[in-house]
A and B are shown apart, each in its own frame.
Chain A
Amino acid sequence: MRTNYVVNSGVRFQLLSDDQLQELFDGVLHLLEYTGLDVYHDEARDILEKAGAWVDGLRVRLPAYLVKDALTKAPRSFTLFARDGNPKHNIHIGPGRAHFGPGPTCPNFIDVETLKRRPYVKSDVPLVAKVCDALPNIDFVESLGTVGDVDYELGALYEFAGMFPNTSKPIVAWSYDRFDSAGIHEIAVTEAGGQEAFERRPNYVHYCEPLSPLVSTFEAVDKLIFAARHRVPLIFTPCPISGGTAPVTSAGIIIQGAAESWLGLTLAQAIQPGLPYFMGGVFSVMDMSSMILAYGAPELPLNMAALTELAHFVGLPLWQTGGVTDSKTFDEQAIIEGSMSVFFSALTGGDLCHDVGYTESAMTGSVFQLAAMDEAIGYSRRITRGIEVNEDTLAVPVIHNVGPNGHYLREKHTRRYYKNEFWYPKLCDRRNYEEWEMMGKTSFKDRTVARVQDILATHQPSAIKPETERVIEKVLAEAEERVKDHK
C-alpha cells in the first residue's frame, strides 16, 4: 500500500512565489482603494456605491473588503455547455484545465480558397465556426473577424447568428451594445429551452472590454450589467499595452490590468452573486519601433503566465491569450510565436486561452494559423498531461518477459497503452523520405491548407432547433429595422 504518496499528475510550472503573488494582490487592492477607476455609467456607479464603493464624480474607489467579498462570491469551477448536449463539447473550468479557441474582431481574413488577405465578410463566419467545431483541440469559438459587409452597427449580431448554427462548442460572444447582447441572448436562450434552462446550462459566454488605463467605458459596463442580470458567464478583459497604456514593467501592467478587471468583477457580483466570471486579457508590450501591440512578443506569454497565477491565487479563472503572431504570412515566425505561446499557456493551465489564429498583430484572422495551432495545442497537451507512475506503467513483468534483444510490439501491454501514451500528429510528417516524396513532398503549410479545406468540404456540425432558426431570422430582421434610419 502507498500511503501519503505524492502524485504529480501533470507537468508543474510556477513563475511567481506566493510572496510575489501576495504582493501583486496587495498592489491591485491598493490601486482600487486609493486610485480607483473612472466609470462612465450612472447606474453602474449607483450599484457600486450601494454595495459600499466610494464614488466621487466619475471616479469609483473600491475598499479592499468589497473586492475580497466579490472574489469569494465568484466560482473557480463551473461548466460551459455544448448547445446540443454533446458532452465532448462541454468545457469544465477548474484547476489544471487549459482550453483554447480563437479571438474576435480582426478586420481582415485569409481567404480559404485564394489564401490571400482581404477584408473579413459575413460568409467567413460559418466557415470559421465549422473549422473550430471540427478541430479536436479547439474548445470554444469566436469568429476571428469583424463582419465588414453588413451595417456597421450589426457586425457582432451577424457574427453570432453565423456562428451559432455552425458549431455546438460554447461560443464567446462580444457585442457593440446592449441591443446586440439582447439579440444574442435571445438566440442562445431559445436553443437552451428558456432562461431558466440557460442558467443551468449556459451555452455561451459574454465578452466585454474595458479601456486601459483605468476606465470602465459606458458600453463595456452596460453590456456587463445586461450579462450579469441574465446570468450569462462573463469575461471582462482589458488590453493594456506596456509602455503605452500601462506601466512598462510586467508587475506594473499586471496590477493595473487586474484592477481594471476587478472593477467589473465587483460590479458583476453586486448584481448577480456567484456569476461565473473570467478576468482577462491581453497583456503585452508596445513595440517601441513599430508602435504596434506585439502579439508575438515573449512578454505576452510571460505576462499571461503571471496573470494566470494571480487569477488562480485569488480563485478566479483566467481569459488567457496564445497561438498568436505578428507575422503577415503563414511562415516560420507565425509557427514559432504561435507554438511557444500556446505551450506556455498550456503550462499555466490558464482557463480559456483565446486569440488562437490571430496573425499580423490581430489585424488578420487565419483559420490556417488556427489549424496549425490545433496541432501545437495537441503536442502541448501531451506534455502537460505528464507521466503516470504505477505498477502497471512501470511494466516490470513485461520487461522481464521480453528480456534482452526481444521486442515489445506484440505485447498486450503495448496494445493497451500505445494509443494513449503517444500523441499522434495530424499535420506534422514523420514518414521516411521515400514515402514523403511519394506523397507529393508536401510542406507543413500544404498539409494545413489541405486539412482546413477537407474539413470545410466534409464536416457537418449538429443542427440547431427549428425554433432557434426562426428566432435568428427574427432577431436579425428587428436589428435591421432598428438601424435602417441611419442608412
Chain B
Amino acid sequence: MSELYERIATAVIEGDAEIAEKLVRRGLRKDLVAKDILDNGLVVGMGEVGVRFKAGDMFVPEVLMSADAMQAGLEVLRPELVASGIKLIGKILMGTVKGDLHDIGKNLVNMMCEGAGFEMVDIGFNADPETFVEAIKEHQPDVVGMSAMLTTTMRAMAYTIRAIEEAGLRDRIKIMVGGAPVDAAFAERIGADGYGSNAPAGVDLAKRFVSAA
C-alpha cells in the first residue's frame, strides 16, 4: 500500500486537490486506517513541500495549491479521524491584533498551518485583547498566534498577552507572534514564546510547540 501513500504525497506536492481527494477516498475503500493515510501520505507530501519551499524550488502560490490539496484530503478523513478519537496535530487560534486591519500575512500562516495538519481558528483582524481571551476559553487551542503589520499596532500584542495572563490562561497555551515590524527580541520583551520571521517559520514554530508539549 506504500505506493498509494506515495501517490497521495505526490498529489499534495503537485497541488492537485482533485487527485488527492480521490486517492484518499480510494485508501479508505481499501480499508486503510485514516491516521495512516494522514501521516504516511498527506503529511509526508506537505513535509516535502516545506523542504522545497525553503530551498527556493517552490513558490508561495504553489505551496498554497499544495495546502489546498492537503485540505481536500483531510476533509475526507476528518469524520474517520473524529470517530476514532484522533486529534489533529494541534489547534491554533490566530488573529491580527487590535488597531491593525492587515489580514494577508495572518491568512498565509493560517493556510500553511492548515496544510501542515493543524486545526485553525481564525478570529480575524482588529481583534481586541478581550476577543482573544474569550476565544481561547471557547476553543481551547494549543497555540495562539498574533499578527501585526504596523509599528504602531505591535504594542497591542503586549496588551493582549497581558490580558491573557490576567485571565489566568497563559500557562495553557504557547504564544507565537509575527508580522513585518516584529523580531525575536521584541517577542521576548513582550513575553511571547516564539517568533516566526515568515509563514513557513511560523508553521515550524507551531510544530515545535506541539511536539514539545
A binding-site residues for B, Cβ under 8 Å? 405-407, 409-410, 414-415, 418-419, 432-435
Contacts and interface: CB of A to CB of B under 8 A. Distances in A.
B197 A418 contact: no
Given A409-B60, A415-B61, A434 B107 contact: no
B61 A407 contact: no
25 contacts: A405-B101, A405-B103, A405-B125, A406-B103, A407-B103, A407-B107, A407-B108, A409-B61, A409-B64, A409-B104, A410-B111, A414-B61, A415-B61, A415-B62, A418-B59, A418-B61, A419-B59, A432-B197, A432-B198, A433-B197, A434-B184, A434-B197, A435-B197, A435-B198, A435-B201
A428 to B, nearest CB: 12
Nearest to A432: B197
A407 B111 CA distance: 12
A407 B107 CA distance: 9
Contacts of B120: none
A415 B66 CA distance: 12
Interface string B46-62: 00000000000001111
Contacts of B103: 405-407
A401 to B, nearest CB: 15
B61 to A, nearest CB: 5
Contacts of B111: 410
B81 interface: no
Contacts of A409: 60-61, 64, 104, 108
Contacts of A410: 61, 64, 68, 111
B19 interface: no
Given A409-B108, A410-B64, A434-B201, 12 more contacts: A405-B101, A405-B125, A406-B103, A407-B103, A407-B108, A409-B61, A410-B68, A415-B61, A415-B65, A418-B61, A432-B197, A432-B198
Interface string B28-49: 0000000000000000000000
A414 B184 CA distance: 32
Interface string B93-130: 00000000101100110010000000000000100000
B144 to A, nearest CB: 21
Interface residues of B, number: 18
Contacts of B198: 432, 435
A191 B155 CA distance: 70
B105 to A, nearest CB: 9
Nearest to A425: B56
Nearest to B102: A405
A403 B115 CA distance: 25
Contact of B104 (A407, A433, A435): A407
Nearest to B56: A424
A406 B124 CA distance: 12
Contacts of B184: 434
A405 B125 CA distance: 10
Contacts of A434: 184, 197, 201
A418 B104 CA distance: 17
Nearest to A419: B59
Nearest to A404: B101
A419 B60 CA distance: 11
Interface in B174-213: 184, 197-198, 201
Interface in B79-101: 101
A252 to B, nearest CB: 50
- Please name the 4 residue pairs, one residue from A and one from B, whose CB atoms are nearest each other, closest first: A407-B104, A434-B197, A415-B61, A432-B197
A107 B192 CA distance: 60
Nearest to B15: A415
Nearest to B184: A434
Contacts of A419: 59
B126 to A, nearest CB: 10
Nearest to A418: B61
A418 B107 CA distance: 19
Contacts of B62: 415
Nearest to B107: A407
A435 B68 CA distance: 26
Contacts of A406: 103
Nearest to A435: B197
A407 B59 CA distance: 16
A477 B201 CA distance: 61
A417 to B, nearest CB: 10
Contacts of A433: 197
B157 to A, nearest CB: 18
B178 to A, nearest CB: 11
A395 to B, nearest CB: 15
Nearest to B125: A405
A409 to B, nearest CB: 6
A331 to B, nearest CB: 26
Nearest to B198: A432
A431 to B, nearest CB: 9
Nearest to A426: B56
Contacts of A414: 61
A270 B154 CA distance: 76
A433 B68 CA distance: 29
Contacts of B60: 409
Residue from the set A405, A406, A410, A418 with the largest chain B CB neighbour count within 10 Å:
A410
A407 B65 CA distance: 15
A136 to B, nearest CB: 15
Nearest to A417: B61
A407 to B, nearest CB: 4
Contacts of A432: 197-198
A182 B103 CA distance: 68
Contacts of B125: 405
B161 to A, nearest CB: 21
A407 B60 CA distance: 13
Nearest to A416: B61
A222 to B, nearest CB: 51
A125 B64 CA distance: 45
A5 B60 CA distance: 36
A472 B197 CA distance: 56
